[in-house]
Amino acid sequence: MIKITLPDGSQREFRGPVTVADVALNIGAGLAKAALAGKVDGKLVDTGFCIEKDSNLAIVTAKDSDGLDITRHSTAHLMAYAVKTLFPEVQVTIGPVIENGFYYDFSYKRPFTPEDLEAIEKKMAELAKKDEPVTRKVLPRDEAVAYFKSIGEHYKAEIIAGIPAGEDVSLYTEGEFIDLCSGPHVPSTGKLKVFKLMKVAGAYWRGNSKNEMLQRVYGTAWATKDEQDAYLHMLEEAEKRDHRKLGRQLDLFHFQEEAPGLIFWHPKGWSIWQQVEQYMRKVYQDNGYQEVKAPQILDRSLWEKTGHWQSYKENMFTTESESRSYALKPMNCPGHIQIYNAGLHSYRDLPLRYGEFGQCHRNEPSGALHGMMRVRGFTQDDGHIFCMEEQVQSEVADFDVAVRKVYGDFGFADIAVKLALRPENRIGDDATWGKAEDSLRSAIRDSGVEWEELPGEGAFYGPKIEYHLKDSIGRSWQCGTMQVDFQMPVRLGAEYVAEDNSRKIPVMLHRAIVGSLERFIGMLIEHHAGAMPLWLAPEQLVVLNISDAQADYATSVVQTLKKQGLRAKADLRNEKITYKIRDHSMQKLPYLLVVGDKERDAQAVAVRARGGVDLGIMSLSALLERLQSELARKA
């Protein structure tokens, strides 16, 4: 007898080997129909997988995150099937699942057109309706290479040839299409009902610009049409909110070819920057940080000591002078250790907190640059805490409190915490990494915070807590971090005098709240669709006169507002008031103040809030009271 244990702890017994599909049917016909795959002892398998010993089993359906990934992977294969049906000369390469969808790379004699994509999507629907079974078979590596060469699929043959000799490979067949894949896949094409092809782009084979340019077709797939419609609506909203587009419309900043990955800030955009920086400077002060400033360029020898030269050199801008090699700093931490090392510190001095608005440069590939979200030059609200091991937990807990207040003030309420663990390319021994990871786990747990673990995604010198913010249209942005580092203080000789007069090495905590100010401002622009809250708005109020008779009064109102620290201006142009209102409404100002003879005589203003909301006539004192209240609330 074979005993199958289900997720709820219940068990079912079978007289002999049994497939995942058979177990699902034994539980119920509804589950059997919904089953996409199974998870046997933690491993995802096809519904046709045969269970031959006592096992734990979970049936995977479209409601599960694993089920959605399987659906998307299977849809990528369905797309390749459709492409081969329509364009037999195409060669298929790879087709992985990505966030919210999938892509597949094809080698073809010409680029695919929008009309081609329509035809491919239509053919996918036809093939799905046929509900053809998706079956798996295993071949020896060399036999699989020979097979794909025989059908002219040289890219597939090359991929398989890279697998160690003597190993078997799995192939999946649906209809006349056969593809290399480790699986699992849905049991039949009829399970794939909700999908859409999005766009086509170029991509080099194996990511190498010396290789052939392939056609990369992107698509999305979902469990239900409602979910897909919501996703497509989010994309439409994201297009409207694109910070690059709004940056031009609102005259905030621009980019140009002479400075790839670098930003030209215009006065209004720099005003937003200043509000963010000054706010964060106050956060430094309120949380016991001393602001410092370290050099932009440091000698190669220092980067070798930190491990950056060995682990990160390809991302660093380097230069030479007088036979010495230097690098523009990609991060601020080595400079802060030099400041720490400039004096002798006692255990009584710890924790010692340094903060810097440090300008960094990273040599990002040109293809990876994306407006303000991925740049080559950026400024971090960077902080480093030098402390004793027993102080780590309280520092992490205090940071968590501070970071949540900051995000709330900027308008972000939905925050997820993730713990990025040791990567393959790292410095330090496993015991030290284990201690660093456990210290963060303990701190998060004691703060009462739920978290998700991300194996392999830590920095090369230490694990980190990541704060992910969900914006107003549901997208998640990785933002603040808190990293525990036992490595760099050792490498750069940081010490403190302990209570027993011995010399000990401090723990270094790397922390950022908004991270790159450039990227964070891009997030703010998209989160608020360019309509910044009053405290961040580059122009908070504009006073509009109806005729020249109110020009002097409009000017005096502006002066009164400015004396109260508000960013205000007058529009005294000889234009119709409706034109001026429309013009400034397009600039998303929080308030428009209209003054005619009635308002001038009453020493008042007619107030219009953003969105065309008419607040009526107010005295200046009443208006100022409203504004100060709104400013105090931040977001």
Q: Which one of the listed residues 216, 308, 376, 384 is annotated catalytic?
A: 384
Q: Which residues contact 565 (CB under 8 A, 6 or more apart)?
A: none
Name the active-site residue from 193, 510, 528, 584.
510
Closest alpha carbon to 519 in 273, 168, 326, 301: 273
Q: Catalytic: which of 84, 191, 329, 362?
A: 362
Cβ contacts of 46 within 8 Å, gap of 6 or more: 20, 37, 38, 136, 183, 184, 185, 187
How far is the C-alpha of 68 from the C-alpha of 586, rounded, in Å? 41
For 423, residues 6+ apart whose C-beta sits below 8 A from its C-beta are 456, 457, 458, 459, 460
Q: Pick from 201, 332, 353: which is nearest to 288 by CA? A: 353
Which of the 8 DSSP states describes residue 164?
Answer: P
Rounded Cα gap, residues 386 and 355, in angstroms: 12
* Active site (annotated) includes residue 380: yes
**Catalytic residue status for 362:** yes
**Cα separation values, 379 from 28, 276, 335, 357, 520, Å:** 58, 12, 15, 6, 10
Alpha helices in 287-319 (DSSP H): 300-306, 308-311
**Cβ(419)–Cβ(452) below 8 Å:** yes
- Closest CA relative to residue 48, chosen from 172, 136, 138, 140: 136
Whole-number Å distance between alpha carbons of 136 and 186:
11
Q: How far apart are CA 502 and CA 164, in angstroms?
A: 53
What kind and span of H or E run contains 631?
helix 620-633
Sign (positive or negative) of CA dihedral 28, 32, 37, 40: positive
Q: Give me the catalytic one of 91, 228, 275, 380.
A: 380
User: Cβ(479)–Cβ(276) under 8 Å?
Assistant: no
What is the distance, to the nearest Å, from the Cα of residue 181 to the centroid of all Cα atoms in its chain?
28
Q: Pick the catalytic residue: 69, 105, 116, 382?
A: 382
Q: Can you tell me the distance from the alpha carbon of 629 to that of 175, in angstroms, rounded to the nearest whole number?
A: 67
15 is catalytic: no
From the list 46, 20, 18, 45, the residue with the least C-alpha distance to 31 is 20
Catalytic-labelled residue, pool 72, 73, 123, 464: 464
- Three-state SS sequence of 368-384: HCECCCECCEEEEEEEE
C-alpha pair distances (Å), 350 with each of 190, 395, 434, 512: 63, 11, 23, 19
DSSP β-ladder status, 55-60 and 37-40: antiparallel
Identified catalytic residue from 77, 228, 243, 333: 333
Helix (H, G, I), strand (E, B) or coil at 483: strand
Q: Which segments within 131-223 are labelled E, that is strand? A: 134-140, 168-174, 177-180, 195-204, 213-221
Confirm whether 384 is a catalytic residue. yes
Q: Quick check: is 333 catalytic?
A: yes
The enclosing H or E element of 614 equals strand 613-619
Please state, in angstroms and rounded to a whole number, the distance separating the CA atoms of residues 336 and 512. Answer: 14
Active-site annotation, residues: 333, 362, 380, 382, 384, 464, 510
